[in-house]
Structure 1
């Protein structure tokens, strides 16, 4: 008599093997498995079983302990008692990491440039080097860094449409007791990604994955609008809601459309925050009002017609610097190649 093998065991082994390549650490494969298990299931496909949440937690801690973010936090805390030299080293190290990051141009500007046959603009205004002040505040303390510097750091995110002056006014009012108090202890607590994972419950980690995958989808739709994704009323409504909330710059900073396992770990911790959970729920409510994201008005072919419209828009792109930026049809391209 042959004992039957539990199908879940078989599928779990298959999923792990799919992500576990030779020479790769098993914990990275576990995170990819956890991410895949949170994705929607295609019709007729076998659902991906969940990995053991304890194993997921161990993998998250292992990855985060080796992350740049965690190393910066450790450096910031060590600088607290290291005098001026330690502070200089902290600012130099954090500046190297953050100075290399630049926000991409807004998708609406990218789309307009592509449709006009012009060069895609580069966002030269958003400079994230001032965010080094947030890192410094974790180790040196808010009083040492100062509210003016922190106002620059918060404004670098670009969220809510607030300027440096806006943030400085609010933080200054809080410091003088003239406005709502700021709990700077939250900054210290949330900077410790490893600690957050260790404190989070099993259900919280799974919920954070749901929030992250959902926000990544909404962010991806917004970004793809810049790459000529056919616009629909449902998409436009989602973008308006994001714009009304003033959170696209924040999503642009924290989200990744196709994250690596290490990025996935950091994004998961970010999405433990109630702010992102509430944002996800708000956008899901908007999606429920009009779910026809991939249906072009008047086109009864549905998703198929949507895909064809996108392919046609990309195919007929004007070519910068040629024919004055005028569009070139498929037939003309063929003739010019010959």
Structure 2
């Protein structure tokens, strides 16, 4: 880190100016040579700004890091990057994302007839993969404990079905049709509804027998760049808090499938997520170690008040029962919890290794692997 770099970062608004301190009694003021805020901000930026890397990517990683709770004793709170720089970085990254390119493409296809529709579906198919989402962790856990085949993916339509939603943005919902849109919404996995459930709801709306669907809202929220530009500074910071918090709850839910010892507090949190029918959707939008692009896209999704409400619901539940790592009847606390999990994983690994060699049977009742000779 050089003096010229620091000055360059100041000119672009990434670092504050050194604070002036009055000497009192008319003696003027001096500039603090070592301003802790400037030092910590520069250190945070330097951690993420490698040679040849665009500074906007570093700003996003700094913003993400600043929003991560610091748990180590004596840790100094990390300063925040300027929100104006964060907004600029979000817009820059999102403009280059596949999601935004798809939105712009579907808008250009509007009114282009069948030829434009064919081109739209072809382009969307190239940008969207066949991902179905993670299998329900409860099913994964049950399979592991029983020694059976572990499901790799969730059931239902894969991610390519979502291109129907993209088509509806550009071509109109009537042009795409209720059945195709029902399949697309089912692929998102929201609210635990199947494609048939969505088809019935959308069909009723078309016939005027149910609540009208606000397709304009869908078109508005599909433009992630516009959402970030409309959001206030406070909303961007709050969306980060919601994203970071929901990522923790999502991770606990996923780890349940990897034999994490269960506790009443964990079960209650999973129940809340299930009541909202949100695990499949969270699986689509949350990445544990996100790239700047993934972070930007997830943060934009969580600008929606709906997810703020979900986060508050889970935080309220956590406040009522925070003992997520306390096993009833076990006074060893978090240490014993961790040891039990490690033993479970070790037994699973050893058992599957023996089974692969053809010399073991798994007793799901006893939870032990027995050599049969």
| Paired position in structure 2 for 1:295 | 326
- 2:190·2:277 contact (CA, 8 Å) conserved in 1? yes
Structure 1: distance between partners of 2:113 and 2:296: 33
- 1:75·1:90 contact (CA, 8 Å) conserved in 2? yes
Structure 1: distance between partners of 2:47 and 2:129: 36
The superposition leaves residues 69-108 of structure 1 with CA deviations (integer Å, 9 ceiling, x where unpaired) of 0011011111113332221121112123334322121111
TM-score of the superposed pair, with normalisation by structure 1:
0.92
The superposition leaves residues 17-62 of structure 1 with CA deviations (integer Å, 9 ceiling, x where unpaired) of 1111222211111111101111112231111100000000000000
Alignment pair present for 1:32 and 2:67:
no
Of 201, 213, 227, the residue aligned with 2:258 is 227
Q: Which of structures 1 and 2 has the larger relative contact order (alpha carbons within 8 angstroms, sep 6+)?
A: 1
Count of residues paired in the alignment: 328
The superposition leaves residues 134-155 of structure 1 with CA deviations (integer Å, 9 ceiling, x where unpaired) of 0001111112112221111111
The superposition leaves residues 122-145 of structure 1 with CA deviations (integer Å, 9 ceiling, x where unpaired) of 226332222111000111111211
How far apart are 1:325 and its partner, in Å?
4.4
| Paired position in structure 1 for 2:16 | none
Of 222, 225, 231, the residue aligned with 1:194 is 225
Gap runs ≥5 in structure 1: 333-338
Of 279, 289, 299, the residue aligned with 1:248 is 279
Task: Give the aligned CA root-mean-square deviation in angstroms.
Answer: 1.8
Bigger-Rg structure (1/2): 2
Matches within 5 A, 1:121-160: 121-123=151-153, 125-126=155-156, 127-160=158-191
Structure 1: distance between partners of 2:111 and 2:215: 20
User: Which deviates more, 186-195 or 118-127?
Assistant: 118-127
User: Which deviates more, 135-144 or 193-202?
Assistant: 135-144
Decide whether aligned partners of structure 1 residues 211 and 95 sit closer, same or farther in structure 2, where only a CA change above 3 A counts: same
Alignment pair present for 1:14 and 2:49:
no
Decide whether aligned partners of structure 1 residues 289 and 315 sit closer, same or farther in structure 2, where only a CA change above 3 A counts: same
| Paired position in structure 2 for 1:335 | none
| Paired position in structure 2 for 1:324 | 360
How far apart are 1:324 and its partner, in Å?
3.4
- Secondary structure of the residue that 2:128 maps to in structure 1? helix
How far apart are 1:300 and its partner, in Å?
2.3
